[in-house]
């Protein structure tokens, strides 16, 4: 999502920085390019006009007030960043819990927007923060909607209130009202009501949603919106906002290939903020929406804050502290440590998703590398390490030919793949030693500190310095370590050579 928009804006800002001085004609050119980029991204016309006019006005004012010490290109880039944040913020309000539990959250939206899945993800997200949510099956119209929510509740381990079978049977208003009483009795501090949707906006759906709202007096009415539907989603959200009244929006399917126009349009058109976003199919792919982070990604500056948070959640504090201590004290980084990192990386999501948060991820060269990544390499690499003995993981120098052949058979991989992993891992160890001594390569570690330092050794990914995507066939960078001299076939002699 936003790939096309990010590329266009990045190209515009690059041409802006290449100019020494800027005049009114340059501002007009920038405004025209921004307008085209936003319209191509399916942003609503009224939002585009307002955004571009504001950029032009503020940029011209900035040029008039600029001093020789101020870089005009940087100043205009910051203006664009501020206006993107403003568009994405809606009324600027944040999600808050009721002072008198339970906090009642009512979900509304069209059929197919991912409302029931979003209910489960929201429940899991709030539970992970120490809350005790209750899901409520108030969609009694859509076939098997109640059953679907029950299955979702089981997957996220959150209880569900479903007294009616659905499929056209039962009173959704009564179910919603009774759920509040049930939640108070069972001490649930959050109630999430899944309501019925339709394929399009109609009076019956609006009347039912309004009746449930009147009966439950929810603290939050969240409109669930499919990011793939473009400008139509923003129009539908506006209809719900005026017909039922909403407090915010949940944006789903943000991992899709939509052009991003809905996300940029909906908050400004409705005047309501995006509260949460769903970024994948897994229950864990759900988070608060941060306008400043989204603006940073649109401008090609990445989203390091979210990447760091993901790493922090994936690595438990004891493991992170132990790895950091090893790094500081100069202890060797082992394949056992690396295996822990692989397992944590699998919790964080796909490589393409993680690396897409890095600055410049949408640039031509880096984008091609990210697209070439195969997440299955994590599983293959883990199978190789799992086939080693504890002693072999702690000291790869003992891996002679027969041991490597045994590991290859045990993991179902080739000896070449085992050799490749070992060589890359040894190169990564050397990089870490260089970094400890102050001679390392800045930025060799991924975000997340020493706990992520071993990732250069992963086959098929951004590997050790000098190796590109896909192993030995990758391109060579300027930071490639010097090529080793031929090594002895005797493991003991080879170990002595490497120590020397």
Q: Do the domain assignments include residue 62?
A: yes
Closest CA to 220 of 147, 150, 133, 309: 133
Question: Do 140 and 230 reside in the same domain of the chain?
Answer: yes
Question: Do 139 and 269 reside in the same domain of the chain?
Answer: yes
| Separation of alpha carbons 91 and 109, rounded Å | 20
Question: Do 80 and 113 reside in the same domain of the chain?
Answer: no
Helices (H), 246-290: 261-270
Question: Do 334 and 290 reside in the same domain of the chain?
Answer: no
358-391 CB burial, b ≥16 within 10 A, e <16: beebbeeebbebbeebbeebbebbbebbebbeee
For residue 252, the surrounding DSSP H or E stretch is strand 248-252
**With a cut of 50, which residues of the chain have pLDDT below it?**
303, 440-484
Q: Do the domain assignments include residue 108?
A: yes
The residue range of the domain holding 112 is: 103-301
Q: Do the domain assignments include residue 490?
A: yes
What DSSP designation does 479 have?
Answer: T
pLDDT, residue 472, reads 33
Question: Do 198 and 162 reside in the same domain of the chain?
Answer: yes
Q: Do the domain assignments include residue 328?
A: yes
Cβ burial of 97 (10 Å; 0-12, 13-18, 19+) is middle
Tally of domains in the chain: 3
Which of 47, 63, 89 is the C-terminal boundary of a domain? 89
pLDDT, residue 473, reads 35
Q: Do the domain assignments include residue 71?
A: yes
Question: Do 295 and 313 reside in the same domain of the chain?
Answer: no
Question: Do 364 and 402 reside in the same domain of the chain?
Answer: yes
Q: Do the domain assignments include residue 94?
A: no
Question: Do 82 and 132 reside in the same domain of the chain?
Answer: no
pLDDT tens string 430-447:
777 776 665 544 443 333
Which of 34, 60, 89 is the C-terminal boundary of a domain? 89
Question: Do 356 and 235 reside in the same domain of the chain?
Answer: no
| Separation of alpha carbons 155 and 124, rounded Å | 9
Return the CATH number at 412: 1.10.260.30
pLDDT, residue 437, reads 63
pLDDT, residue 263, reads 75
> What does pTM read for this prediction?
0.65
pLDDT, residue 443, reads 40
Q: Do the domain assignments include residue 98?
A: no
| Separation of alpha carbons 145 and 496, rounded Å | 67
What are the tokens at 232?
């139509």
Which of 33, 61, 89 is the C-terminal boundary of a domain? 89
| Separation of alpha carbons 330 and 401, rounded Å | 29
Judge whether 137 and 194 are in contact, CB under 8 Å.
Answer: yes
**Integer CA distances (angstroms), 462 to 93, 220, 444, 469, in order:** 40, 43, 10, 6
Give the distance between the most distant pair of CA atoms in the chain.
82
Question: Do 324 and 461 reside in the same domain of the chain?
Answer: yes
pLDDT, residue 23, reads 82
| Separation of alpha carbons 436 and 326, rounded Å | 11
Return the CATH number at 16: 1.20.120.140
Give the chain's length: 500
Return the CATH number at 171: 3.40.50.300
Q: Do the domain assignments include residue 96?
A: no
Question: Do 52 and 115 reside in the same domain of the chain?
Answer: no
Question: Do 54 and 120 reside in the same domain of the chain?
Answer: no
pLDDT, residue 403, reads 94
């Amino acid at each position: 999502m936003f790939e096309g928009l990010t590329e266009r804006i990045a190209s515009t800002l690059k041409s802006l920085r290449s100019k020494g001085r800027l005049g009114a004609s340059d501002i007009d050119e920038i405004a025209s390019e921004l307008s085209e980029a936003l319209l191509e991204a399916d942003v609503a016309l009224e939002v585009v006009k307002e955004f571009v006019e504001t950029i032009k006005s503020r940029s011209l004012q900035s040029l008039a007030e600029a001093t020789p010490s101020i870089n005009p290109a940087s100043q205009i880039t910051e203006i664009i960043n501020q206006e993107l944040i403003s568009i994405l913020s809606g009324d600027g309000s944040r999600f808050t819990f009721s002072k008198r539990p339970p906090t009642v959250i009512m979900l509304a939206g069209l059929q197919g927007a991912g409302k029931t899945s979003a209910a489960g993800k929201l429940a899991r997200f709030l539970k992970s923060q120490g809350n005790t949510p209750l899901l409520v099956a108030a969609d009694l119209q859509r076939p098997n909607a109640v059953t679907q929510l029950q299955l979702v509740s089981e997957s996220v381990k959150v209880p569900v209130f479903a007294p009616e079978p659905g499929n056209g049977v039962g009173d959704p208003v009564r179910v919603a009202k009774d759920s509040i009483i049930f939640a108070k009795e069972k001490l649930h501090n959050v109630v999430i009501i899944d309501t019925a949707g339709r394929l399009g906006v109609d009076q019956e759906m609006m009347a039912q949603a309004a009746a449930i709202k009147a009966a439950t007096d929810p603290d939050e009415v969240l409109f669930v919106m499919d990011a793939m539907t473009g400008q139509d989603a923003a129009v539908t959200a506006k209809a719900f906002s005026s017909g039922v009244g909403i407090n915010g929006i949940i944006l789903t399917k943000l991992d899709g290939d939509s052009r991003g126009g809905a996300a940029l349009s909906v908050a400004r058109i409705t005047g309501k903020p995006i509260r949460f976003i769903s970024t994948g199919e897994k229950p864990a792919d759900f988070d608060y929406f941060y306008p400043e982070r989204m603006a940073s990604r649109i401008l090609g500056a990445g989203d390091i804050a979210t990447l760091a948070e993901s790493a922090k959640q994936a690595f438990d504090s004891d493991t992170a502290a132990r790895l950091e201590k090893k790094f500081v004290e100069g202890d060797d980084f082992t394949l056992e440590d690396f295996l822990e990192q692989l397992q944590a990386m699998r919790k964080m999501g796909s490589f393409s998703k993680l690396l897409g948060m890095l600055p410049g991820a949408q640039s031509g060269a880096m984008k091609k590398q990210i697209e070439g990544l195969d997440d299955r390499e994590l599983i293959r690499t883990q199978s190789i390490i799992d086939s080693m003995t504890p002693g072999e993981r702690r000291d790869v120098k003992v891996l002679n030919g027969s041991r490597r052949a045994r590991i290859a058979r045990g993991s179902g991989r080739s000896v070449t793949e085992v050799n490749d992993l070992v060589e890359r891992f040894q190169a990564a160890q050397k990089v870490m030693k260089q970094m400890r001594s102050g001679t390392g390569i800045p930025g060799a570690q991924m975000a997340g500190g020493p706990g992520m330092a071993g990732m250069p050794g992963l086959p098929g990914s951004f590997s050790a310095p000098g190796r590109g995507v896909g192993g030995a066939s990758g391109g060579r960078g300027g930071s490639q370590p010097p090529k080793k001299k031929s090594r002895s076939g005797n493991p003991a002699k080879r170990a002595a050579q490497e120590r020397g």
